[in-house]
Amino acid sequence: MAASCTYGGVECERRAAPTCDGALPQPWYRSAERLDCTPVANRIIEYACECAVVIAVRLSVFSAIYLDCFITVVLIAALIWIAREDLLNFRVSNKAIIGLSASFVVVCLASDRLSLLISHALLSLVALIVLFCAFAVRVIGGGDAKLLSIALLWLGPEHMLTFALLLLVAVIAYAIGARFCDFPSRRLNDSLRIPLAPCVSAAWIATLWLSYSFL
């Protein structure tokens, strides 16, 4: 079946795409009825549709990359603010802790990573129980315990060892600076107390950088 028509001043035929048993399914822009003016025009239309599909796929990939970078930048900014507050006031805001934990849940649900959320949340819960035992015997502060558990919530078991090693280095470096270079610190019962949030933030950011660069 064919019918003549005019397209751009050119006499054309509108006809249905032929089908046969066992043929591979054609793309939507080939299987639908179309104007067959010239083979060159048909090829241009097909090529334009293929390019549109490729561009859409690449844009979706780039948008995911840009979203990941945006989340990382916001996270680093939040960690710097938390470190500054602990340096000035020796306290970690509960609002910041709630914001970090809620942000991770939203990111996981938005990206359909339920298994990642479960595994990271279990690790964070175990860490929180252990750290609150340390808080009970006055080894660390309550805000520091919550911040460490949130760090493990974000980093997960895959980056836990790297974070722990970097945190140890940061704490040792800060303790030396507090003793010899007047870094912000407090003395309590002849013991030196340092704000832990700057060390946690530095180790967290360094772990993120290493994970993007090498891990």
pLDDT digits (tens, 9 = 90+) for 197-212: 999 999 999 999 888 7
Query: Does residue 149 carry a pLDDT above 60?
Result: yes
Which of these, 71, 73, 99, lies nearest to 85 by C-alpha position?
Answer: 99
What's the confidence (pLDDT) of residue 73?
85
What integer is the mean pLDDT of 96-117?
89
Which of these, 201, 111, 126, 195, lies nearest to 156 by C-alpha position?
Answer: 126
Which of these, 164, 158, 167, 169, lies nearest to 211 by C-alpha position?
Answer: 158
Q: Do both 79 and 28 map to the same domain?
A: no
- Residues 6 or more apart whose CB falls under 8 angstroms from that of 1 comprise 15, 16
What's the confidence (pLDDT) of residue 53?
59
Cα separation, 114 vs 195, in Å, equals: 34
Report the percent of the chain where pLDDT is more than 70. 66
Which of 96-100, 173-177, 189-193 shows the lowest mean pLDDT across its residues? 189-193
What's the confidence (pLDDT) of residue 16?
46
What integer is the mean pLDDT of 144-154?
95
What integer is the mean pLDDT of 85-102?
90
- DSSP assignment string, 28-55: HHHHS-EEES-HHHHHHHHHHHHHHHHH
What's the confidence (pLDDT) of residue 114?
86
Q: Which domain holds residue 96?
A: 66-213
Domain-located, residue 58: no
Domain-located, residue 151: yes
Domain-located, residue 142: yes
Query: Does residue 81 carry a pLDDT above 70?
Result: yes
Q: Do both 147 and 49 map to the same domain?
A: no
Cα separation, 157 vs 26, in Å, equals: 46
Q: Do both 152 and 208 map to the same domain?
A: yes
Q: Do both 182 and 85 map to the same domain?
A: yes
What's the confidence (pLDDT) of residue 68?
73
Give how many domains the chain has, as a whole number: 2
Triad 130, 84, 135: Cα angle to 5°: 20
